[in-house]
């Protein structure tokens, strides 16, 4: 059974704080690691697709790193804003071509 774990489950921060979340996944048969941002009643929005060990990707104030050998990825948000409030999902793909999701980290940013 493949497990993808995300921590923390939820996070409340003040506007301007920087924050980070963890995603851990199986280190065998790794193909890719996806990060999504999801607001209820909307489509999960793709943030990053990471494939190479040591990858670092950045999109505005959000960045992510990947360690495939030890099976973890970090997502960082610098200077959180209220509009960053959402659930952040990571999903692992192995050679079976299906996304295996973690339960997500629910972020709330207070003004």
The least distance separating other proteins from the CB of residue 25, rounded to whole angstroms, comes to 12
Among the listed residues 62, 104, 105, 107, the single contact to other proteins using CB under 8 A: 104
Query: Does residue 32 touch other proteins according to CB under 8 A?
Result: yes
- Contact between 106 and 19 under an 8 Å Cβ cutoff? The reply is no
- Contact between 46 and 33 under an 8 Å Cβ cutoff? The reply is no
Query: Does residue 31 touch other proteins according to CB under 8 A?
Result: yes
The least distance separating other proteins from the CB of residue 111, rounded to whole angstroms, comes to 26
Among the listed residues 12, 58, 61, 98, the single contact to other proteins using CB under 8 A: 98
Element (H, E) at 99: strand 99-101
Task: Please list, residue by residue across 24-61, b when 16 or more beta carbons sit within 10 angstroms of its beta carbon and e when fewer do.
Answer: bbeeeebebbbbbbeeeeeebeebbebeeeebeeeeee
Give the C-alpha distances (Å, rounded to integers) separating 22 from 39, 85, 96, 111: 19, 17, 23, 24
Query: Does residue 71 touch other proteins according to CB under 8 A?
Result: no
The interface region with other proteins, picked from 13-21, 29-37, 53-61, 66-74 by CB under 8 A, is: 29-37
Tell me which residues touch other proteins (CB under 8 A).
4, 31-32, 34, 36, 41-44, 46, 49, 51, 89, 91, 93, 96-104
């Amino acid at each position: 059974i493949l497990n993808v774990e995300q921590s923390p489950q939820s996070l409340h921060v003040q506007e301007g704080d920087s924050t980070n979340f963890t995603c851990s996944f199986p280190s065998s048969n790794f193909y890719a690691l996806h990060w999504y941002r999801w607001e209820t009643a909307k489509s999960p929005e793709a943030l990053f697709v990471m494939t190479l060990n040591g990858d670092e990707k950045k999109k505005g104030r959000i960045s992510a790193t990947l360690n495939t050998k030890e099976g973890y990825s970090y997502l960082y948000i610098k200077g959180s804003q209220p509009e960053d409030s959402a659930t952040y999902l990571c999903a692992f793909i192995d050679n079976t071509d299906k996304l295996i999701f973690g339960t997500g980290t629910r972020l709330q940013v207070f003004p």
